[in-house]
Amino acid sequence: MPLNHISEIKGLENLEKLEWLNLENNRITEIKGLDSLKKLEMLNLSYNGISEIKGLDSLENLEKLMLDYNYILEVKDIKHLKNLAELFFEGNEFDNIDENELPSKDCEVIF
């Protein structure tokens, strides 16, 4: 659903089996409305207006998270995502990432 001028993530409650969700290039400013997507493996929220990483608590199967070109200043609240293998942060406002905030040392981070 890229380029749809979506400003809020909603209406996904009945998509429990969804594995990939692409919401890049929209107007999303807050990560929320994903609680029922427990099987989600890939989430693309690049090119939005997100400034804080939160709302990912139930996404334990997430393997790939794309948050390129948002307004994120700090990486936190992702340590519980034990299956996360790829994390994309290109074009955000920080210079480095505290490895203690990552779910595993094997997680590939691109920024």
Summarize pLDDT for 8-23 with one digit per residue, the tens.
999 999 999 999 999 9
Summarize pLDDT for 22-60 with one digit per residue, the tens.
999 999 999 999 999 999 999 999 999 999 999 999 999
Q: What pTM was computed for the model?
A: 0.92
Q: Which amino acid is at 93?
A: E
The distance of Cα 40 from the centroid of its chain, to the nearest Å, equals: 11
Compute the distance between CA of residue 37 and CA of residue 19 in angstroms, rounded to an integer.
8
Summarize pLDDT for 46-105 with one digit per residue, the tens.
999 999 999 999 999 999 999 999 999 888 889 899 999 999 999 998 767 778 888 887
Compute the distance between CA of residue 23 and CA of residue 108 in angstroms, rounded to an integer.
21
CATH 3.80.10.10 fits 1-111, yes or no: yes
